[in-house]
């Protein structure tokens, strides 16, 4: 498909200003939460990305009226007339997103039954949904697996449960929250994820009338309530997109101001960015407003000149170094002097993209061993989950095929940093999580075009 190709003329530093909107990993879940309310919800600063289109389609299939609000980026969801959707209609969305699994709890509360198709998402590991199903059964759901997907029902309603996650999974924590808020009784979730997007989802549910307590040591307690109402909410900014542009600034020796980026959600990344040798300046909303009426804060990232420094990192759940930050940053690390180590502990198959970087002139070796940090759950399971990056390397143009969302943006950064003209295939996948990325590239002075 020639229309899914981007021609990138690399070697030009990216310079300028772009803006990030609400976090992809929160917005789609906030849209699902609207199903639980008995009145309309309004979500602001919603990015125009493929995942929002998918969830909007799924909500509409179930009778939710989804419309654009008055403000740019405002979404209004009216769940007054929630209804069943046909299996065939839902299956149209199979493979396009993993969000359907999160519809289960809300639909069981509203309709007494739910269906989820085979699940897609990025190909970075199996991402088993076993815990989702196990948790739903603990709440009282009956699950019937069929070739086309899973049918769920709750003949006796849903009831609170005591649950413990084997790993603090974000998706599993969201599942429990969205199911427990209207389940009868108290739910206790141990070893829960506590990512900023999870906390923001809890804020939304509390606005709707939920009673949720976040205790120490990853324990979340949810006291079920009989009904919830609509919300109005501006989501936290997308810390993954912000970090991706920061890495692009480093890799291309440029300067990018990311308006809307928030320091509190990115402190771990900002520390690493500085350790490598990048420079940054943070402006909060209050300071911005004092200078310009209606101005918005953000973070400016730039390469100060000279050489970048190698670093040893491992990804981890929050507050550790986020797994979605590693691919863009590894591209920047190919330009750092010395040996850098990236130990991926969240997803077991997330280093496949480095093969393309090597074809462009990088020197990256992947290993099965747990390097540069503590042993992780993949250490003895034969997964290539540690990378050693030797730099600096002069990158040259290549034809690239995007394997998944975050690796795709990493490939795009590499093409921008490389000398010569690259062809990047499958770029439409980037639209799943990066709003208007081609327009933003143009605003930063990148030389890119469609064939």
Residues 222 and 186 sit within 8 Å (Cβ to Cβ): yes
Instruction: Compute, in degrees rounded to 10, the torsion defined by CA atoms 145, 150, 154, 160.
Output: 100
Nearest to 387 by CA among 423, 345, 416: 345
What is the length of the chain? Answer: 451
Q: 3-class SS at 221?
A: strand
Whether the upstream peptide bond of residue 392 has omega within 30° of 0, thus cis, is yes
Q: Which residues sit opposite 316 in a β-bridge?
A: none
For residue 336, list its beta bridge partners.
Answer: 308
- Is 25 marked within a binding site? yes
CB 108 within 8 Å of CB 179: yes
Q: Would you tell me the crossing angle of helices 323-333 and 405-417 to the nearest 10 degrees?
A: 20
Residue tagged active-site, from 122, 203, 370, 376: 122
Tokens in use for 178? 């969205």
Q: Which two tokens stand for residue 188?
A: 């206790």
Residue 52: both structure tokens together: 């929002």
Q: Is 218 annotated as a binding residue?
A: no
Tell me if 24 is assigned to a ligand binding site.
Answer: yes
Q: Token match 């490598």: residue? A: 276
Joined together, the tokens standing for residue 210 give: 């939920």
| Rounded distance between C-alpha atoms, residue 355 and residue 165, angstroms | 33
Which alpha helices (H) appear in 389-436, and where do they start and end?
405-417
From CA 237, how far away is CA 94, in angstroms rounded? 28
What sign results for the dihedral spanned by CA atoms 337, 343, 347, 350?
positive
Active site annotation includes 122: yes
Q: Is 324 annotated as a binding residue?
A: yes
Which residues are annotated as part of the binding site for UDP-N-acetyl-alpha-D-glucosamine? 98, 324, 346
- Please give the positions annotated as active site: 122
Which residues are annotated as part of the binding site? 24-25, 98, 324, 346
Which residues are annotated as part of the binding site for phosphoenolpyruvate? 24-25
């Amino acid at each position: 498909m020639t229309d899914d190709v981007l021609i990138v003329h690399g070697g030009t530093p990216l310079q300028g200003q772009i803006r990030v909107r609400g976090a992809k990993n929160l917005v789609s879940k906030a849209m699902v939460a609207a199903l639980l309310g008995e009145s309309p919800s309004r979500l602001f600063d919603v990015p125009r990305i493929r995942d929002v289109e998918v969830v909007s389609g799924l909500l509409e299939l179930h009778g939710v009226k989804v419309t654009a609000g008055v403000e740019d980026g405002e979404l209004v969801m009216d769940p007054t007339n929630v209804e069943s959707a046909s299996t065939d209609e839902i299956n149209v969305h199979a493979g396009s997103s993993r969000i359907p699994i999160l519809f289960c709890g809300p639909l069981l509360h509203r309709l007494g039954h739910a269906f989820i198709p085979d699940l897609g998402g990025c190909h970075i590991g199996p991402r088993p949904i076993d815990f989702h199903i196990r948790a739903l059964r603990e709440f009282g759901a009956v699950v019937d697996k069929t070739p086309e997907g899973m049918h769920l029902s709750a003949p006796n309603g849903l009831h609170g449960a005591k649950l413990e996650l084997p790993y603090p999974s974000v998706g599993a924590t969201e599942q429990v929250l969205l199911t427990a808020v209207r389940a009868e009784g108290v739910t206790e979730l141990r070893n829960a994820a506590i990512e900023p997007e999870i906390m923001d989802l809890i804020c939304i549910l509390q606005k709707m009338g939920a009673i949720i307590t976040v205790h120490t040591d990853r324990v979340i307690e949810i006291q079920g309530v009989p009904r919830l109402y609509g919300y109005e909410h501006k989501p936290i900014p997308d810390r993954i997109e912000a970090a991706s542009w920061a890495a692009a600034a480093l890799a291309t020796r440029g300067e990018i101001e990311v308006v809307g980026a928030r320091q509190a959600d990115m402190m771990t990344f900002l520390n690493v960015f500085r350790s490598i040798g990048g420079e940054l300046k943070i402006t909060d909303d209050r300071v911005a407003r004092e200078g310009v009426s209606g101005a918005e804060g953000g973070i400016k990232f730039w390469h100060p000149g000279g050489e970048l420094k190698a670093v040893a990192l491992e990804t981890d759940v929050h507050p550790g170094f986020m797994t979605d930050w590693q691919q863009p940053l590894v591209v920047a690390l190919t330009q750092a002097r010395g040996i850098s180590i990236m130990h991926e502990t969240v997803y077991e198959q997330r280093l496949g993209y480095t093969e393309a970087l090597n074809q462009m002139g990088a020197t990256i070796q992947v290993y099965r061993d747990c390097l540069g940090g503590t042993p992780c759950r993949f250490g003895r399971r034969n997964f290539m989950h540690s990378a050693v990056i030797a730099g600096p390397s002069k990158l040259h143009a290549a034809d690239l095929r995007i394997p998944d969302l975050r690796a795709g943006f990493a490939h795009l950064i590499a093409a921008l940093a490389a000398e010569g003209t690259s062809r990047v295939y499958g770029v439409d996948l980037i639209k799943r999580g990066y709003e208007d990325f081609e327009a933003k590239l143009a605003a930063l002075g990148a030389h890119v075009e469609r064939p």
